[in-house]
Structure 1
Amino acid sequence: MREYSKFYIGGQWVDPAGPATIDVVNPATEQVSGRVAAGSSVDVDRAVAAARGAFPTWAVSTREERLELLRSIQDAYQKRSGDLAAALTEEMGAPAALAGGFQLGLGGGHLATAIELLENFVFEEQRGVTLVVKEPIGVCGLITPWNWPLNQIAVKVFPALATGCTMVLKPSEQAPGVGQIFAEILDTAGVPAGVFNLVQGDGPGVGVPLSAHPDVDLVSFTGSTRAGIEVAKNAAATVKRVTQELGGKGPNVILDDEALAENVAKGVGGVMMNSGQTCSAATRMLVPRGRMAEAAAAARSAAEATSVGDPTGEVAIGPVVSEAQFAKVQGLIAQGIEEGATLVAGGPGRPSGLDTGYYVKPTVFADVTNDMTIAREEIFGPVLVIIGYDDLDDAVAIANDTDYGLAANVSGTDQEQARSVARRLRAGAVYVNDAFDFGSPFGGYKKSGNGREWGEFGFTDYLEVKGILGY
């Protein structure tokens, strides 16, 4: 039983202001596997005060001091990799291979990237008679989700540290272990008191007072669009900077070429990974209308080959994170059937032999139209919809016909054609043939948010720009 009963505030592990706790449920067993203290506005006030007190000193720390801390964190992170992976599997159901592989690797990759960028990042630049100075924005409230917890913590904390900010982190109460271990890593690495603070709890208890706090200069939030809107409203009265990485309903434009079946199969794999709980997943697959049957057959084979089961074993996907998430996904699968989409693979209910745990069948719908609910709403489960297009102009129009704009994919052998389509897609990140780059900007158009994370672009949101004229 994991018990997280203390918060990390001002360089110390301290008791919360109140006795309330939140149960943490293992989604594979449906049993309580831990408890975490539920913070309140009193705890937020203490943490923000610690961060505010530490800011004047950390803000003027040298590049070398920040690099020394980040490299120390790198050593401590590697030593706790097994603990981080185990928490991921137990609390949010990530299969062991994914938790100890890509999930863990994302956190380490963002850390290595922050170190590399900080070594040569330009904080001051003379432009004519003006010195342009990039200074840390101040105290940052960082609110992170449960689905890729290491990635989302790392992509906020490391740029904030590198740019001289202080911070308060609120991880998801559904997967608090990664945040707790992360705080232990930073403590071991010697983070100065008050520079990094951790308060556990839920949105109403911690997220609201943190985003509304007058001494917080920036809120960086990752989560649903609905919750992001509330964060922005809470922050508005204090005119603080708000950056948001929110929902997605990404298209994957499959070009009309000889690699169609192969690219369809890859697309299925990308959607199913992490049990479909990825905001950037290309969950709307667009294929040439005349090749719908071929695409559906390839998708069926790939979905049926996706193993589901106990995440401690050798499976492709485990459960979704919670009973509520399971119910939401099941409801949307049922709605897809009711609206007349062709069920190609999967469907309602748990996979055969898995009567306990929030397991969802890898599900594919074909003959979907872009006005169906399953093509409009973010399902956040292992569910793919396939939509036909007439030509590339039609494909681009369908791809962009969404409230979201976080990520998009283009898959095909003709690189110039793929580039042309990619330029026309309204999304913050467009992946051509599954390319990957830690230095690329990541963030959304439209209701997928604002601001950018990853690489040098992730430093920008944590910096104020000052012009000193006549310098």
Structure 2
Amino acid sequence: MIDVVDPSTEAVIGQVAEAGPAGVDAAVRAARAALPAWSGTPLDERLAMLSALADGLEARAAAIGASLAREMGMPLAQATAVQAALPVGVIRATVAAARDFPFSSHEGGATILREPAGVVAAITPWNFPLHQIAAKLAPALAVGCTVVLKPSELAPLTIDLLQDAAREAGLPAGVLGVVHGTGPVTGEALVSHPGVDVISLTGSVAAGRRVGAIAGGAVKRACLELGGKSPAVVLDDADLEHAVRYTTARCCFNSGQACNAPTRLLVARGQEADAVAIAADAAAALVVGPALDEGTTMGPVVSAAARDRIRAHIDGAVAAGARAVHGGSAAPAGTPDRGFYVAPTVLAGVTEDMRVHREEVFGPVLAIVAYDDEDDAVRLANATDYGLSAELFTGDPDRARAVAARLRAGQVKVGGVSARDALGAPFGGYGLSGLGRELGRFGLEEFVEVKAVLGV
């Protein structure tokens, strides 16, 4: 049995049973057995069940928000507004994309068929649990695949609500299987199972490398959505106040536990002092506390290991010469003795040779970096092995388009637009940020095989 811990209190709030190789084998066999009937179900019927699943999750929004606030520490109002609502939007956007998807087309003198790739192993993280599940489950089921899901062992309890909604929506037995457990035990058994055709992982670079190695050895397709070290590039003609406050808030949202969080704030050297003051003021306005407390605007991080790792990053940056103008590695004032709390931290004087400029912290730590001119801003933005997302602020749309084209990132969001505003846009990145894309038409492509039929 695996204990599930409330990061606000360190209390054990539930348990799940770890599935070993035998449990994984049973789930994969069930998915394989369900595949012919599910892939043969008319598209409209599959999409109707997905729409019903979205409706069922929407009806359970309050329960989902409360469960995830306790499991992974996001403040209750935010968990209900984001963690519960986002998967509903993703499923509905996927249904819309699937209605227009070219399952059959004529290209190059042939009939091109896009057919379900088979059984999908979906391995998902704890930071946006249901969203990441929806981003894999909805397109896989839409195109006719069956799915075996391994959610994170840190936030597995809300899966019961998902399974209830799936049964209510009419998903046949075996179409969605769930196996709980850790990556080294359950995840390893799942991705190496010969009955799995496609692997879709959202996780760390280390996990991605391991899954990629297994998939490569078996010549299986793997879609890997990994980490990020996203820049927020504030050009000298931007509204500095808006850009800095927005970036600080986004960096600290979900306690900084988002792969696309803008954790590097790049500002013109002449505006650096003003940007530092604004960011420190914005961070000071955040109220750190238990997720279920009404006044909390930033909850704990997910675990003691995460807390200690983030604090070590802060100490390392300060030792390298950065200045903590707000926060730091000490426990935030006013937080309980028990719980995994980290102060929202603003680091000034960060240079590109520091680890905090290059490496993912996965916590509420904003590094402010000064640039000399536009070319230098682009160079610094791209000075990382990651390339998942970037924020860009400028008052000139033409300048925005020109600079966005130079940024090595899978998404460039201009002026504070949110990825939640475009759930059909592809999500994924360059370099260590992974392989493949999720959401919309691009997410559907990950789960189909392409067949060319010539002569008829």
Structure-2-length-normalised TM-score:
0.97
Secondary structure at the aligned position of 1:47 is classed as helix
User: 1:366 corresponds to which residue?
Assistant: 348
Residue by residue over 1:226-248, the C-alpha shift from the partner in whole angstroms, topping out at 9 and shown as x without a partner, is 11101111222211100100010
Q: Which moved more, 1:164-173 or 1:122-131?
A: 122-131
Q: Which moved more, 1:116-125 or 1:132-141?
A: 116-125
- Aligned pairs (5 A) from 1:300-449: 300-312=280-292, 313-354=294-335, 355-435=337-417, 436-449=421-434
Q: Is the 8 A contact 2:124 2:203 kept in 1?
A: yes
1:293 aligns with 2:273: yes
- Counterparts of 2:311 and 2:323 in 1: how far apart (Å)? 16
Output the amino acid matched with 2:237. Answer: D
- Counterparts of 1:146 and 1:315 in 2: how far apart (Å)? 20
1:84 aligns with 2:69: no
- Counterparts of 1:273 and 1:29 in 2: how far apart (Å)? 20
Output the amino acid matched with 1:466. Answer: K
Output the amino acid matched with 1:242. Answer: A
> How far is 1:434 from its partner?
2.1
2:13 to 25, 33, 39: 33
Output the amino acid matched with 2:8. Answer: A
Residue by residue over 1:240-264, the C-alpha shift from the partner in whole angstroms, topping out at 9 and shown as x without a partner, is 1001000100011001125112211
2:47 to 67, 71, 96: 67
1:108 to 70, 76, 88: 88
Q: Is the 8 A contact 1:263 1:412 kept in 2?
A: no
> How far is 1:223 from its partner?
0.6
- Aligned pairs (5 A) from 1:201-240: 201-240=181-220
- Counterparts of 2:189 and 2:300 in 1: how far apart (Å)? 32
1:50 aligns with 2:30: yes
> How far is 1:310 from its partner?
1.6
User: 1:9 corresponds to which residue?
Assistant: none
Aligned residues, how many? 451
Secondary structure at the aligned position of 2:132 is classed as helix
User: 1:93 corresponds to which residue?
Assistant: 73
Secondary structure at the aligned position of 2:41 is classed as coil
1:23 aligns with 2:3: yes
- Counterparts of 2:283 and 2:101 in 1: how far apart (Å)? 44
- Counterparts of 1:237 and 1:321 in 2: how far apart (Å)? 33
2:440 to 455, 462, 465: 455
Change (3 A) 1:330 1:128: closer
- Counterparts of 1:60 and 1:393 in 2: how far apart (Å)? 53
1:197 aligns with 2:182: no
Secondary structure at the aligned position of 1:456 is classed as helix
Return structure 1 stretches of 4+ with deviation > 3 angstroms.
none
- Counterparts of 2:162 and 2:199 in 1: how far apart (Å)? 19
> How far is 1:71 from its partner?
2.1
Residue by residue over 1:368-393, the C-alpha shift from the partner in whole angstroms, topping out at 9 and shown as x without a partner, is 00110111111111100000101110
Output the amino acid matched with 1:397. Answer: R
Q: Is the 8 A contact 1:212 1:237 kept in 2?
A: no
Residue by residue over 1:372-425, the C-alpha shift from the partner in whole angstroms, topping out at 9 and shown as x without a partner, is 011111111110000010111011111111010111110122221122111100
> How far is 1:356 from its partner?
2.0
Output the amino acid matched with 1:246. Answer: L
Q: Is the 8 A contact 1:245 1:443 kept in 2?
A: yes
- Counterparts of 2:97 and 2:369 in 1: how far apart (Å)? 41
1:178 aligns with 2:163: no
Secondary structure at the aligned position of 1:256 is classed as coil
- Counterparts of 2:109 and 2:411 in 1: how far apart (Å)? 37
- Counterparts of 2:63 and 2:303 in 1: how far apart (Å)? 22
Q: How big is the alpha-carbon RMSD for the aligned residues of Structure 1 and Structure 2?
A: 1.1
1:149 aligns with 2:129: yes
Secondary structure at the aligned position of 1:321 is classed as coil
> How far is 1:317 from its partner?
0.8
- Counterparts of 2:95 and 2:138 in 1: how far apart (Å)? 9
- Counterparts of 2:434 and 2:55 in 1: how far apart (Å)? 33
Q: What 5-or-longer segments of structure 1 have no aligned partner? A: 1-20
Output the amino acid matched with 2:263. Answer: T
Q: What 5-or-longer segments of structure 2 have no aligned partner? A: none
Secondary structure at the aligned position of 2:280 is classed as helix
Q: Is the 8 A contact 2:94 2:424 kept in 1?
A: no
Q: Percent identity?
A: 47
Residue by residue over 1:428-467, the C-alpha shift from the partner in whole angstroms, topping out at 9 and shown as x without a partner, is 1111112231111000100100100011111000011100
- Counterparts of 2:234 and 2:241 in 1: how far apart (Å)? 9
Secondary structure at the aligned position of 2:77 is classed as helix
Output the amino acid matched with 2:300. Answer: P
- Counterparts of 1:255 and 1:84 in 2: how far apart (Å)? 40
Secondary structure at the aligned position of 2:218 is classed as coil
> How far is 1:114 from its partner?
1.5
Q: Is the 8 A contact 2:55 2:88 kept in 1?
A: no
Q: Is the 8 A contact 2:238 2:393 kept in 1?
A: no
Q: Which moved more, 1:332-341 or 1:229-238?
A: 229-238
1:269 to 244, 249, 267: 249
- Counterparts of 1:195 and 1:224 in 2: how far apart (Å)? 27
- Counterparts of 2:160 and 2:308 in 1: how far apart (Å)? 28
> How far is 1:128 from its partner?
5.1
Q: Is the 8 A contact 1:345 1:363 kept in 2?
A: yes
- Counterparts of 1:377 and 1:121 in 2: how far apart (Å)? 38
